[in-house]
Amino acid sequence: MPDATKYLSHLELGQPDKTFLDSNELIINMGPQHPATHGVLRVILKLDGEKVLGTECVIGYLHRGVEKIAENRTYTMFNPYVDRMDYVAAVSNGLGYCQAVEKLLNVEAPPRANYIRVILTELNRLASHMLWLGTHALDIGAMTPLFYTFRDREEILKIFEKYCGARLTTHAFRIGGCLYETYEGFEKDVESFVRFVRPKIDEYEGLLTTNRIWLERTKGVGVISGGDCIALGVTGPVLRASGVKWDIRKAQPYANYPEFDFEIPTGQNGDTYDRYIVRMREMRQSLRIVEQAVNKIPEGPIMAKVPKIMKPPVGEIYHSIEAPKGELGYFIVSDGSTQPYRVRVRPPSFVNLQALDLMVRGQLVADVIAVIGTLDIVLGEVDR
């Protein structure tokens, strides 16, 4: 059992703020209105000059009570709400929720639906990573990748729009499968997108991977060990960059991931650069999965037999998937009625954000921005 106090932030707030020079410590407030906090995150920094002594995250500015809302909605009605948590990876949110309820109802989605789900989810992972790369690079000062990634993310959003009519909060899946059949030319669109985006990823890497300044800004910044990641519950690319080979797609397979051939990229150092490399390689793996899925997508029904009025048996269920940001889990308690008794979401961003204090302690102020970027948080998901 690791020593838990290590992970607590020990800011002693409330002491009078002294002037610059005579005090060793300076407390400044970053956010909630700050261009680099990716939304409305407020970080209280305790500084010694430019060195960070500790941080304290203040969250909740975007709290909408999503979990409470679930208690007053039927299972079907709550489905669109989950899209609003991690709004850059709405498809993954929907997949997790639908599969959790399916598990509760003991329903299995038909194979064709699973294929569509995998394709869309992996495309969404790409879109999420692209958005992460653009904003992360912008925080570190490289403004060009932002426009490149947004241009290419647009192609993914176009596919979403053609498929289900929405670009961001897609509500693509229903409990028991998919509502929409793929449109005419879906496979062709996806295939041409894969061909289109492969060289683009090389392009991003060409701008950054061997860039001296990028290396200096990211190598050795925000280091976290695999053990600390596990102790803090950090998942996703952040965990894998620290050398722990843990991906729910492989560890506890869901949908039809076992049918695909892909690798789990890992890093060794657990620094910002490794996390960047891991995500870039993950984007390529996602393309591989999408390619395989499109090639062998079967014909058949896309919706399993689900009752019109869902009354799952009394019980509780925990189901988690590998969202772009880490393990996204849903814990649903059913009391046998049409509405869930309790829904609890395990959001990856929220859990990963805990590591911020450990990662930036002893680093410089500019690194806080790099680390917030590399944690890839979405405040909609942190606050829910």
**Minimum CB distance to other proteins smaller for 111 or for 145:** 145
Question: And the tokens for 298?
Answer: 């079967």
Number of residues that bind other proteins (CB under 8 A): 33
**Minimum CB distance to other proteins smaller for 36 or for 321:** 36
Contact between residue 379 and residue 41 where contact means Cβ atoms under 8 Å apart: yes
**Minimum CB distance to other proteins smaller for 38 or for 240:** 38
Choosing from 1, 4, 13, 21, the residue that interacts with other proteins (CB under 8 A) is 21
Instruction: For residue 144, state whether it binds other proteins (rule: CB under 8 A).
Output: yes
Instruction: For residue 24, state whether it binds other proteins (rule: CB under 8 A).
Output: yes
**Stretch touching other proteins by CB under 8 A, among 60-68, 142-150, 169-177, 189-197:** 142-150
For residue 132, give Cα distances in angstroms to 111, 214, 306: 31, 16, 37
Instruction: For residue 148, state whether it binds other proteins (rule: CB under 8 A).
Output: yes
Instruction: For residue 158, state whether it binds other proteins (rule: CB under 8 A).
Output: no
Strands (E), 86-180: 173-174, 177-178
Instruction: For residue 229, state whether it binds other proteins (rule: CB under 8 A).
Output: no
Cα(229)–Cα(235) distance, integer angstroms: 7
**Minimum CB distance to other proteins smaller for 50 or for 202:** 50
> Residue 300: which region, alpha, beta or left (left: phi > 0; alpha: psi -120 to 50)?
left
**Stretch touching other proteins by CB under 8 A, among 61-69, 119-127, 140-148, 323-331:** 140-148
Question: And the tokens for 287?
Answer: 């393309």
Instruction: For residue 164, state whether it binds other proteins (rule: CB under 8 A).
Output: no
Please name the residues in contact with 160: beta carbons below 8 A apart, sequence gap of 6 or more. 91, 120, 123, 124, 166, 167, 170, 172
Instruction: For residue 210, state whether it binds other proteins (rule: CB under 8 A).
Output: no
Strands (E), 60-201: 173-174, 177-178
Over the range 48-74, which residues count as b (16 or more CB within 10 Å of their CB) and which as e? eeeebbbbbbebeebeeebbeebeebe
Residues forming contacts to other proteins in the complex (CB under 8 A) are: 19-22, 24, 28, 35-36, 50, 137-144, 146-148, 151, 207-208, 211, 213-214, 216-217, 364-367, 369
